[in-house]
Amino acid sequence: MLTLARHGAPTDLPPLLIVHGLFGSARNWGAIAKRLSDSREVIAVDMRNHANSFWNDTHDYPTMAADLAEVIEAEGHPMDVLGHSMGGKASMLLALTRPDLVNRLVVADIAPVAYGHSQTHLIAAMRGLDLSGLDSRAEADRRLAQSVENPQVRAFLLQSLDLRADPPRWRLNLDALERQMDLITGWPDVSGLAPYEGPVLFLSGAESDYVRAEARPVIRALFPKARMARIPGAGHWLHAEKPREFEAALRVFLN
């Protein structure tokens, strides 16, 4: 099963399951999870091939949705689910295939469509990082800057670098993620599935182009009760760029 990070204790409110995006981890969501745990239990997962969870050659949305279903079934009751990017797609497929397990769904800056871009250039950058004699995150950032210009992206990627290992290593199954990148940026055929009739919030960054107007008919068809909201000044990593605004929007919808 996936590795979990728990925050807070059970209350009258349903627990919240947080599902990170590509190259992410439960740890990325620690601050938000801790703050939200003032009113409910919050469980963040490490997805397969990420952080402390198991590695596997298969990395597609049906298996990721099944991983999440296993977590919720082990908890013994339905949960509210928040998924970002890749985690948002896995969470959407979970709601469509196992609606009995999802009370409310929040999809952060992603749509149920295939995307034309690839993140293999970031995998190449991580593979190309010289790990020899590396003993500080500052030095790792300096070296990674040769191939990744954006300091925010570097900081995000470096959260998955284990500097305590000897030698340092990436806590990501880069081979599997690279092989299945088309499946990660894609979206499975869901034509045989019934729409998810529960409440859904599609929360996007106003500066991001991941949820375009042309995706709205697809969203409405699969999630008839979907509400749309945008966070001003935020891009794709909206929870990191505007954490307070993101948290406030979550509280309004989930509570």
Return the structure tokens found at 25.
């981890």
Strand partners, 105: 81, 200
Of 38, 57, 162, 175, which one is the catalytic site residue?
Answer: 175
> What's the CA gap between 255 and 241, in Å, rounded?
23
- Best CA proximity match to 232, nearest among 212, 202, 204: 204
Q: Catalytic annotation on 239?
A: no
Q: Catalytic annotation on 175?
A: yes
> What's the CA gap between 199 and 69, in Å, rounded?
18
Which residue spans within the chain are E strands per DSSP?
Answer: 3-7, 16-19, 42-46, 79-84, 102-108, 161-162, 169-170, 200-205, 226-231
The structure tokens 């969203």 sit at: 219
Half-sphere CA count of 197, side-chain side, radius 13 A: 2
Of 25, 85, 160, 208, which one is the catalytic site residue?
Answer: 85
Of 20, 50, 59, 236, which one is the catalytic site residue?
Answer: 236
Question: What values do phi and psi take at 92, rounded to 5?
Answer: -60, -45
Q: Catalytic annotation on 236?
A: yes
Q: Mind telling me the catalytic residues?
A: 85, 175, 236
